[in-house]
């Protein structure tokens, strides 16, 4: 596995900051809710950028769920909400790329591909497993 060059890391950080602002301010698609850009991986030739996002606001710390499956406050599965947000962001990727080109001084602006970042949901799932194990231990000690 090759090491990421400092220039690629700076470009990825720039894209992450700018995209977080642009998605919040410029994307008016109702399918895109509270989205947080968690990371960007840029190809070595700067032609493509994989943008990792999480959909905020619908994750309740509910135990017993498989990683990547979250519940909203009513308890309904929100996988459809996540998929719709990703589809809407990928549909708006050309518009976001145009805005990025105007705001940045990059010679070429990478083509954007949005992906759902399951690390937050997986972290909450693992945290709930740990909480359940601690509660079970405390119950057995009593």
The three state secondary structure string of 63-90 is CCCCCCCCECCCCCECHHHHHHHHHHHH
Residue 116 has pLDDT above 90, yes or no: yes
Q: Report the pLDDT value the prediction gives residue 14, as an integer from 0 to 100.
A: 95
**Average pLDDT of the residues of the chain:** 84
Retrieve residue 141's tokens: 């000690």
Helical H segments across the chain, by residue range: 6-26, 79-91, 93-103, 119-141
| pLDDT band, very low/low/confident/very high, at 3 (cuts 50, 70, 90) | confident
Residue 123 has pLDDT above 90, yes or no: no
Architecture of domain 6-137: 2-Layer Sandwich (3.30)
Q: What is the pLDDT of residues 35-75, one digit of tens each?
A: 999 999 999 999 999 999 998 754 444 344 445 555 544 43
Q: What is the pLDDT of residues 71-94, one digit of tens each?
A: 544 434 478 888 999 999 999 999
Nearest Cα to 86, choosing from 75, 78, 74, 77? 78
Q: Report the pLDDT value the prediction gives residue 125, as an integer from 0 to 100.
A: 86
What is the value of pTM for the model shown?
A: 0.75
Q: From CA 135, how far away is CA 16, in angstroms rounded?
A: 39
Q: From CA 110, how far away is CA 96, in angstroms rounded?
A: 11
Decide: 104 and 22 in contact? Cβ < 8 Å: no
Decide: 97 and 111 in contact? Cβ < 8 Å: yes
């Amino acid at each position: 596995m090759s090491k990421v060059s400092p220039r690629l890391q700076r470009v990825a950080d720039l894209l992450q900051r700018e995209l977080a602002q642009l998605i919040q301010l410029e994307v008016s698609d109702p399918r895109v809710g509270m989205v947080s850009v968690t990371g960007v991986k840029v190809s070595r030739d700067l032609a493509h950028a994989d943008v990792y996002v999480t959909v905020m606001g619908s994750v309740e710390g509910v135990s017993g769920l498989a990683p990547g499956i979250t519940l909203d406050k009513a308890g309904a599965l929100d996988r459809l909400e996540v998929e719709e947000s990703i589809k809407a962001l990928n549909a708006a990727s050309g518009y976001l790329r145009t805005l990025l080109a105007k705001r940045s001084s990059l010679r070429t602006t990478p083509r954007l591909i949005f992906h759902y970042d399951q690390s937050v949901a997986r972290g909450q799932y693992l945290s709930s497993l740990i909480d359940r194990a601690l509660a079970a231990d405390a119950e057995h000690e009593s």
